[in-house]
Amino acid sequence: MSNYSVCKRCVMDSTAKDISFDENGICNYCIEFLNRSEHILNSNKSQKTKDLDSLIERIKKRGQGRRYDCIVGVSGGVDSSWVLVKALESGLRPLAVHMDNGWNSELAQNNIANLVRGLNVDLHTHVINWIEYRNLMQAFFDADVIDVELLYDNAMLAVNYQQSKKYGVKYILGGMNQATEGMRMPLGWNWMKYDKKNIKDIAKFHGDVKIKSFPAISTLDYIHYELIRGIKWIPFLDNYDFIKVEALTILQNEHGYKPYPYKHYESIFTRFYQGYILPNKFGVDKRRLHLSTLVISGQMKREEALEYLEQPPYPSKDALEHDREYFVKKMKWSLEELDAYILRPPQRHDSYATEKPRWEYFFHENEKRYLYRQIKKLYKVLVSIS
C-alpha cells in the first residue's frame, strides 16, 4: 500500500479510509476517542461510585413487583459475562438473554451454561430457525456487502428489547464500554445496526428470502422501545473501573470461564468472519480497532499490540483450515465457492434500500439528536398532563 502509515500512539493504520494524522503522527481516532471518552476513563472514583449507586437504585425502584428488574444480554464473551456478575453483586435481579443463530462455539455454550448455573440466573435463549438464517446469510454473501454480522447484531438487539417489553423491564445492561470498545468503527467497516430495511431488501433481491422467525428491529422500532416504552440500554461497565484482564482472571477462577484467543471469538462465524473473510475480501483487520482501544485506555502497551498484530488472526493453520471446512459444510458451499466469493469485489450496503437517511435524520451527531430530543420533550409533556 502506497503512503502506508500507522498511528504513533495506537495501532490504527491507513487501511481505515477516513484516517488522518496530525503533525506528531497521532491519528484522528485517538483524538476523537479521548475527546469523547476521557471523562469516563478518568472520572473521579467517588463520583463514579455515587453515579453507580444512583443507577442501581433507579433500576431496583422501577423493577419493584416484577420478576426481573433488568435484562443482561449474554454472548459468552468477557464483557457481557462481567456485566452479569456485577449486576448480581449489586443486588439486581437480571434475566440473562442469549441470541443463538446456530454459530455458537462449544466453548461459548459452556461459558454461558457455567455462568448462569453458578449465579443461579434465569436464561432466555432465542434460537433462530437455522434454514431461514442460513438463507439470509447466503443473500448477504451473494450481495458481497461487508457487514454480514448485521444479521446477528440486529436480531440480538431485537431480542433484548422484546424481552424487556415482555417483562415490563426498563433497563437493558449491555457489555459495550468505552474502556475496551470506545473507539469508533472506521467508515465502511460495518453498517448501521438498526437497518431492517437493508436486511429485507438484500434478502428479497438475492433469493427472495422470506423473513418469518428472524427477529428484526428498525429505526422506528428503536424509537418506540426507547421513547414510548421508556426502555434504556445502559453501557453498564462504564460505571466501573473495568480492567478486562482482571475481569477475565476472576471469571476463570470463580466461574469456570475459558478464554478465547481474540475478542468476539465466542462465535465460530465471527471468528471466521473477522479472522479470514474481513482481511482477505475487504482488507479489514478489526484487531487494530480492538487493540487500539485497549492501548489508549491504558490496558495494553502499544508494543504488545504491535506484537499481537504480527501474529495471524488464527492461532494455527490447522485451526483456520478446520474453520474453512466447517463453514463450507454448514453453508453447503464448496471450498471453490468460498474462494470465488473471496475474490469477488465488495459492494456497498446502500446499493440496496436502507434506513440510514432516516437514522441520520433523527440521530445525526452534528445535529445532536435534535429531532429525537424534541419528540422526547413533547412526549414528557403529554405524559405529565395525561
Q: What is the 3-state secondary structure (H, E, C) of the chain?
A: CCCCCECCCCCCECCCCCCCECCCCCEHHHHHHHHHHHHHHCCCHHHHHHHHHHHHHHHHHHCCCCCCCEEEECCCCHHHHHHHHHHHHCCCCEEEEEEECCCECHHHHHHHHHHHHHHCCCEEEEECCHHHHHHHHHHHHHHCCCCCCHHHHHHHHHHHHHHHHHHCCCEEEECCCHHHHCCCCCCCCCCCCCCHHHHHHHHHHCCCCCCCCCCCCCHHHHHHHHHHCCCEEEEHHHHCCCCHHHHHHHHHHHHCCCCCCCCCCCEHHHHHHHHHHHHHHHCCCCHHHHHHHHHHCCCCCHHHHHHHHHCCCCCCHHHHHHHHHHHHHHHCCCHHHHHHHHHCCCCCHHHCCCCHHHHHHHHCHHHCCHHHHHHHHHHHHHHHHC
Q: Are residues 320 and 367 in the same domain?
A: no
Condensed to tens digits (0 to 9), the pLDDT of residues 171-206 reads 999 988 877 788 999 999 999 999 999 999 999 999
- Residue numbers of the chain with a pLDDT score lower than 50: 367-368, 381-386
Cβ(251)–Cβ(85) below 8 Å = yes
pLDDT at residue 305, as a whole number: 97
Q: Are residues 279 and 359 in the same domain?
A: no
Q: Are residues 371 and 290 in the same domain?
A: no
pLDDT at residue 261, as a whole number: 66
CATH code, 201 = 3.40.50.620
Provide the edge-to-edge strand list for the sheet that holds 123-127: 123-127, 94-100, 70-73, 171-174, 232-235
5 within domain boundaries: no
2 within domain boundaries: no
213 within domain boundaries: yes
Task: Check: pTM over 0.95? Answer yes or no.
Answer: no
pLDDT at residue 266, as a whole number: 80
pLDDT at residue 371, as a whole number: 57
Q: Are residues 244 and 365 in the same domain?
A: no
177 within domain boundaries: yes
11 within domain boundaries: no
Sequence-separated (6 or more) residues with CB below 8 Å from residue 97: 71, 72, 73, 74, 123, 124, 125, 126, 159, 160, 163
pLDDT at residue 106, as a whole number: 86
Domain that holds residue 163: 45-351
Condensed to tens digits (0 to 9), the pLDDT of residues 39-58 reads 777 777 788 889 999 999 99
pLDDT at residue 360, as a whole number: 86
pLDDT at residue 262, as a whole number: 60
Q: Are residues 77 and 132 in the same domain?
A: yes
pLDDT at residue 41, as a whole number: 74
Q: Are residues 323 and 205 in the same domain?
A: yes
9 within domain boundaries: no
Q: Are residues 266 and 285 in the same domain?
A: yes
Q: Are residues 147 and 285 in the same domain?
A: yes
**Helices 317-331 and 335-343 meet at what angle, rounded to 10?**
100
29 within domain boundaries: no
Q: Are residues 282 and 367 in the same domain?
A: no
pLDDT at residue 263, as a whole number: 56
Q: Are residues 226 and 364 in the same domain?
A: no
Q: Are residues 299 and 365 in the same domain?
A: no
Total count of domains within the chain: 2
pLDDT at residue 242, as a whole number: 86
32 within domain boundaries: no
Q: Are residues 230 and 306 in the same domain?
A: yes
